[in-house]
């Protein structure tokens, strides 16, 4: 697989060493942008794109805001032009008229982003650029249209056809292992020994998606533990001293940590593809695997307890399991989707809420965010597609009979 990645990387023209200079070109960056949008020659276009990118990454925060404001205002669509081109096409549906309409309907900033990506290794820099943009959008909502253009292009550039799945193990390159430690977002990897315990044992697996233009940067990765039955404690699962009886066939694959690595790719879905591919790979490797589950945190449960669930907690018949089940099935945002971000992720990928466990995460973080509660989401290969469609189209949350019963038994006080 590594050879395949190297070949694809060569196709995407990633140079071995590309230094991003800090020197600003004397010409205004906006003049450079106009020149780039009007450039027809490939060599000149790459040169201009490199200068613009070099300029951007030498800018202050205020200058970056000005840059994005320019993209928002000066490189936006022109509605009147679109209407005229559409009227012309509607009156005479020729290829020429359709092309004119399409050109008018696409904001020039999309063309700019594509042309910036002509520069070797620019894709990663554009991902970093969007990371800056996302921070600004929170304060300046008008920049959201610029972000939609980035997201539109990234959804194409990072589609499943370009993604390469790699198995990460203890023999993987050190720079990749360092990234796994750095990007782990669910259960902190405290040391190299801790990482070794997650990668080296026979019952551990780690898989990551990479893109050929970013071969040293994982996009998303999942850590898997192979077990006997469904686990109910993350501390037990992370115990590096566990003894595995090799005479007993492992029957359960536990996705206990899934981490998105690139904040600049927020909103670009990788998890669904990753889990489906990992399920397929593990099934091919271990014929006795029958169950695929997560052992997931419930990160906003305590916040819900302190607000909507405050009155329910006062009823002595409500235990933590009942309240957690009720929250997972009924705690929803105004748009009808689950309040819990981890629930939205797994349910959107076609899982069902399977079981909840008390004292499952006794770490300081686990107690703070959910009083130690964790949840299993079950991935049934025969139901993933059905569950996904019901959730996406109707906001229906698939759940086991046990979860439904627990939720119904929770006493709601009006």
List domains and CATH numbers for the chain: 19-157 (1.20.140.90), 162-409 (3.40.630.150)
pLDDT tens, the chain, 414 aa long: 555 455 445 444 443 333 333 344 456 899 999 999 998 778 889 999 999 999 999 999 999 999 999 999 999 999 999 999 999 999 999 999 999 999 999 999 999 999 999 999 999 999 999 999 999 999 999 999 999 999 999 999 999 999 999 999 999 999 999 999 999 999 999 999 999 999 999 899 999 999 999 999 999 999 999 999 999 999 998 886 666 666 667 899 999 999 999 999 998 888 888 998 999 999 999 989 999 999 999 999 999 988 877 777 767 777 999 999 999 999 999 999 999 999 999 999 899 999 999 999 999 999 999 999 999 999 998 898 899 999 999 999 999 999 999 999 987 766
pLDDT at 410: 87
- Rg, Å, the chain Cα set: 25
pLDDT at 273: 86
Please state whether beta strands 352-357 and 296-297 pair in parallel, antiparallel, or not at all (unpaired): unpaired
* Global pTM value: 0.85
How buried is residue 332: exposed, middle or buried, by Cβ count under 10 Å (0-12/13-18/19+)?
Answer: middle
pLDDT at 19: 33
Question: What is d(CA 74, CA 33) in angstroms, rounded to the nearest whole number?
Answer: 11
pLDDT at 298: 96
pLDDT at 16: 33
Would you state the structure tokens that stand for residue 405, as one six-digit string? 């019963």
């Amino acid at each position: 697989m590594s050879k395949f990645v190297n070949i694809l990387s060569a196709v995407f023209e990633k140079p071995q060493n590309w230094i991003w200079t800090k020197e600003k070109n004397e010409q205004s960056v906006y003049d450079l942008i106009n020149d780039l949008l009007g450039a027809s020659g490939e060599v000149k276009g790459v040169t201009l794109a490199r200068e613009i990118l070099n300029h951007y990454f030498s800018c202050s925060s205020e200058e970056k805001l000005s840059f994005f404001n320019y993209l928002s205002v000066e490189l936006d669509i022109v509605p009147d032009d679109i209407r005229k081109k559409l009227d012309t096409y509607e009156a005479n549906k020729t290829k020429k008229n359709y092309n004119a309409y399409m050109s008018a309907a696409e904001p020039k900033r999309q063309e700019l982003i594509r042309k910036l990506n002509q520069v070797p290794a620019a894709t990663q820099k554009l991902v970093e650029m969007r990371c800056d943009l996302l921070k600004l959008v929170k304060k300046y909502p008008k920049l959201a249209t610029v972000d939609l253009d980035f997201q539109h292009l990234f959804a194409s550039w990072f589609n499943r056809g370009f993604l390469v799945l790699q198995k990460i193990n203890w023999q993987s390159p050190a720079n990749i292992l360092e990234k796994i430690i750095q990007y782990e977002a669910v259960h902190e990897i405290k040391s190299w020994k801790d990482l070794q315990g997650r990668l080296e044992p026979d019952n551990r697996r780690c898989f990551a998606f990479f893109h050929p233009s970013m071969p040293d940067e994982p996009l998303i990765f999942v850590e898997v533990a192979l077990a006997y039955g469904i686990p109910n404690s993350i501390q037990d699962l992370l115990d590096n001293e566990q003894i595995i009886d090799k005479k007993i066939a492992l029957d359960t694959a536990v996705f206990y940590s899934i981490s998105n690595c690139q904040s600049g790719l927020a909103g670009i879905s990788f998890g669904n593809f990753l889990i489906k591919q990992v399920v397929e790979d593990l099934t091919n490797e271990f014929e006795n695997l029958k169950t695929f589950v997560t052992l997931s945190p419930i990160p906003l449960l305590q916040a819900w307890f302190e607000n909507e669930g405050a009155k329910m907690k006062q009823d002595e018949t409500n235990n933590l399991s009942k309240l957690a089940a009720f929250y997972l099935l009924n705690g929803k945002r105004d748009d009808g989707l689950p309040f819990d971000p981890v629930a939205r992720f797994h349910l959107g990928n076609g899982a069902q809420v399977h079981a909840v466990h008390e004292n499952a995460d006794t770490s300081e973080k686990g107690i703070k965010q959910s009083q130690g509660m964790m949840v299993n989401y079950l991935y049934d290969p025969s139901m993933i597609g059905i569950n996904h469609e019901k959730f996406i189209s109707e906001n229906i949350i698939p759940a086991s009979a046990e979860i439904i019963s627990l939720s119904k038994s929770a006493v709601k006080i009006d």
